[in-house]
Amino acid sequence: MKTLLAILLVAGLAVVLIALPSQRDVDPAALNQRGLACYFGEGVPKDLVKARAFFLAAAEQGYAPAQVNLGMMYDHGDGMPRDYRMARHWYQKAADQGELNGQLLLGYLYFYGLGGEDDHKKAMYYFIAANGGVIGQSGKTATLPLPQSRPVEVAAR
């Protein structure tokens, strides 16, 4: 009986490993789309574990939308314990690529001190960056110093 159970467990693990991405040559946008399908249960059964695996595979390839999606899973505790530190990590990777949702969500975490100390200057930096560098309704663009004190010009979108 124990042998049969062990074989079934190994076979089940093999099925999961075959179904989930492990190669770096898979298109990250396609992985992200599969993650979204698993997350929302669109065309496949809803499965947050698989969604996370697809998002992670795409995020590790540097695909910013997947980095935001993975950050949101950590931020909201979807299918895993809530972990603001990990959410901040993935939002930061997306924000560094100019992904506006990553910038906005990272600013939120900095503003409220979630996943680390609060830093209102960094929060404002990311809020303004997510708004295309436009401050308020003035239509003016701003030259935003990065948190590492390097200047960068952010043009209006």
| pLDDT for res 138 | 54
**Phi, psi (degrees; rounded to nearest 5) at 141:** -95, 160
Cβ atoms of 117 and 123 closer than 8 Å: no
Class at the top of the CATH hierarchy for domain 25-131 = mainly alpha
Where are the domains positioned within the chain? 25-131
| pLDDT for res 59 | 98
| pLDDT for res 132 | 84
The model carries a pTM of 0.73
- Which pLDDT tens digits describe the chain residue by residue (157 residues)? 555 444 544 444 444 444 554 555 689 999 999 999 999 999 999 999 999 999 999 999 999 999 999 999 999 999 999 999 999 999 999 999 999 999 999 999 999 999 999 999 999 999 998 888 766 555 555 544 444 433 333 343 3
| pLDDT for res 58 | 98
Neighbours of 102 (CB within 10 A): 26
Alpha helix segments (H runs only) across 61-153 = 64-76, 84-95, 100-112, 120-130
Q: Is 36 left (phi over 0), alpha (psi -120 to 50) or beta?
A: alpha
In one letter, which amino acid is 134?
V
| pLDDT for res 96 | 94
